[in-house]
Amino acid sequence: MTLKVGKDSDALVRALGAVVEGLTFYDLANAAVAEMRVKVAFEELGRRKKEQLAKLEAVAGPNAAHAAVMPGIYPLDAVAKVECYVCGFVADTKAMPNQCPSCGAARYAFEKEIALTKAWEIASETERHSAVLFRESAARAAGPARTLLEELAREDEGQATLADRQLAELRT
Ligand SMILES: [Zn+2]
Give distance in angstroms: CA of 36 to centre of ligand 1. 23
Give distance in angstroms: CA of 25 to centre of ligand 1. 24
What domains are there in the chain, each with its CATH number?
A: 2-171 (1.20.1260.10)
Residues 91-149 have pLDDT tens digits of 999 999 999 999 999 999 999 999 999 999 999 999 999 999 999 999 999 999 999 99
Residues whose Cβ atom is located within 5 A of ion ligand 1: 84, 86-87, 89, 100, 102-103, 105
Give distance in angstroms: CA of 108 to centre of ligand 1. 10
Residues 5-49 have pLDDT tens digits of 577 889 999 999 999 999 999 999 999 999 999 999 999 999 999
Burial 92-128 (b: 16+ CB within 10 A, else e): ebeebbeebeeeebeeebbbbebebeebbbbbbebbb
pTM, entire model: 0.92
